[in-house]
Amino acid sequence: MAKFILRRFLLMLLTMFLVSIAVFLIVESSPGNVAKNILGAFITPEQEASFLAQSGLDKPILVRYAYWLVGSDWHAAQKINLPLKRLVTEKGFVEWWAVDEEKRLVRWELDGDDLIVNIRRDDGEVVKKKDNDRWRFADDGSARFWGVDRHNHAVLWEKGLDQEVWTFVAGTGWMVASGGPIEYIPLKKGFLRGDPGVSLRTGRPVAKSLMIRLRNSLVLAGIAFVIVMPLALFLGVIAGLKEGSFKDRFLSVTGMTFSVIPEFATGIFLILVMSHWLDLVPGATVFGEQAPWERPDMLILPVLTLTLVELGYVLRITRASMVEVMRSPYIRTAMLKGLPYHKVIFKHALRNALIAPITVIMLHVNWLLGGIVIVEVVFGYPGLGQYLLDSALYKDINALEAGAMIMVLLAVGTQLVADIIYTFLNPRIRYS
């Protein structure tokens, strides 16, 4: 068993690596202009080029993949020749600083031909002063300097170049300034170190936003899973044992009815009846800064919608598996030997009949976390599915790639759990 788990874990790592390449290539090659999606359709070519350079989207695809996977801070530190440090402010924004020879947190800006260093004190106050000694002169007489700017980039300035740079400031619009860098490296630690970068849409760290949305989806999916899966298995077993009876027909038809109705139709119907007509529960999930469990009344309708949608599908899979097992020769042999009916069911039939439903259930764990976007949109639920939808609409590359990898990790991990469960359900299955 230990060798099997280790082998599957290594296979999972290989799968994750190959899928990370596929996800990156698909997102990068998807149609749409990320600059126009984020900043509007009327930006000028100069503004678009400046945005792409500051976002690192003008670099070769292999470089972008390496930055996304393992980060860019190690490469930037080599350019700057100083260690880098990442801070998170009280408002949740990320700041990158260099650590100078005196162990101070510093970053720079350009004022004409003067290089200005920003020194961060322990109390958070920033002091500025000239730092022109850091210019490095080349044989052709040009002066250049690699440093960290105030917008979380490692940048290369050239003295006297007077290059224009366009920066989009929320609430103000596009601002143009002279003395812009000639090269940018957006700073991040990379997906493997828990920092897939900053959202191009919101300007906030993707990791923090993603974890909050994942937590919300885990709460919603977990409650629905705990309710629907045992209930569906129980009803499916009853229907399978009573094949052809009224109970079987009733459960099968009812389950099929709920499973074929679209999620949005079920959700809207429940909102109309339980929220609008009966006024029993809220029809929307407006949490604000609260966690989902702080407003359990707002979870009732989304959970009920997921329960009705999922119940019929798992029920029918369980029923079909139970019917097939009950027709097996070893079940008939056990019956002919005179074993008690309940012993035949619980000791021989049930464990084998649950193998197919377990596979379906594990696949639906991944769907419950990321595929419930319709339910989240109908109820305004701030979950992972809606986060990925918004990221896709804006082509927010950092958020979209990180969210997709989280979904892949969950999918591969749940299949590993399913394989382990198989060994306990069916003693004939052995892994060497």
Assigned domain for 52 exists:
no
Q: In what order do the strands lie in the sheet with 114-120?
A: 84-88, 94-99, 105-111, 114-120, 126-130
Domain co-membership, 394 together with 253: yes
Q: Which of 158-172, 238-252, 409-423 has the highest mean pLDDT?
A: 238-252
Domain co-membership, 316 together with 232: yes
Q: What is the pLDDT of residues 86-100, one digit of tens each?
A: 988 777 778 999 999
Assigned domain for 291 exists:
yes
Q: Which amino acid, residue 173?
A: G
Q: For position 86, what pLDDT does the model report?
A: 92
Q: What is the pLDDT of residues 21-57, one digit of tens each?
A: 888 888 777 777 777 776 777 778 887 888 888 888 8
Domain co-membership, 419 together with 376: yes
Task: Look at residues 187, 215, 242 and tell me which one is the last residue of a structural domain.
Answer: 187
In our burial notation (b when 16+ CB lie closer than 10 A, e otherwise), range 154-164 reads bbbbbbebeee
Domain co-membership, 165 together with 220: no
Count of structural domains within the chain: 2
Q: Which two tokens stand for residue 256?
A: 């099929």
* CATH number of residue 377's parent domain: 1.10.3720.10
Residue of higher predicted confidence among 131 and 373:
131
Assigned domain for 286 exists:
yes
Assigned domain for 155 exists:
yes
- pTM beyond 0.75: the answer is yes
Q: Helical H runs in 121-274?
A: 206-241, 246-260, 263-270
Q: For position 258, what pLDDT does the model report?
A: 82
The burial of 134, by beta-carbon neighbours within 10 Å (0-12 exposed, 13-18 middle, 19 or more buried), is given as middle
Confidence category of residue 427, pLDDT binned at 50, 70, 90 = low
Pairing verdict, β 165-169 and 114-120: unpaired
C-alpha to C-alpha distances, 33 to 42, 72, 275, 395, 397, nearest whole angstrom: 12, 24, 41, 8, 11
Q: For position 103, what pLDDT does the model report?
A: 92
Q: What is the pLDDT of residues 391-416, one digit of tens each?
A: 888 788 888 889 888 888 887 777 77
Domain co-membership, 166 together with 254: no
Residue of higher predicted confidence among 279 and 146:
146
Task: Look at residues 154, 187, 220 and tell me which one is the last residue of a structural domain.
Answer: 187
Q: Which of 99-108, 322-331, 378-387 has the highest mean pLDDT?
A: 99-108
Q: For position 173, what pLDDT does the model report?
A: 55
Q: For position 82, what pLDDT does the model report?
A: 94
Domain co-membership, 159 together with 295: no
Domain co-membership, 182 together with 220: no
Give me the helix-helix angle, 206-241 and 300-326, nearest 10°. 40
Assigned domain for 114 exists:
yes
Q: What is the pLDDT of residues 348-386, one digit of tens each?
A: 788 778 777 777 777 777 677 666 788 888 888 888 888
Assigned domain for 36 exists:
no
* CA proximity to 55, closest of 78, 32, 39, 31: 39
- Is the pLDDT at 170 greater than 60, yes or no? no
Assigned domain for 44 exists:
no
Domain co-membership, 331 together with 368: yes
Note whether 50 and 166 are within 8 A (CB): yes
Residue of higher predicted confidence among 163 and 337:
337
Least confident of 156-160, 190-194, 419-423: 419-423
Least confident of 109-118, 149-158, 278-287: 278-287
Domain co-membership, 267 together with 125: no
Domain co-membership, 289 together with 385: yes
Radius of gyration over alpha carbons of the chain, in Å? 28
Assigned domain for 289 exists:
yes
CA–CA dist 198, 187 (Å, integer):
9
- Is the pLDDT at 171 greater than 60, yes or no? no
Q: What is the pLDDT of residues 177-192, one digit of tens each?
A: 666 788 999 999 999 9
Domain co-membership, 266 together with 393: yes
CA–CA dist 238, 188 (Å, integer):
54
Domain residues for 88?
76-187
Domain co-membership, 175 together with 89: yes
- Is the pLDDT at 4 greater than 90, yes or no? no
The predicted model gives 108-132 an average pLDDT of: 89
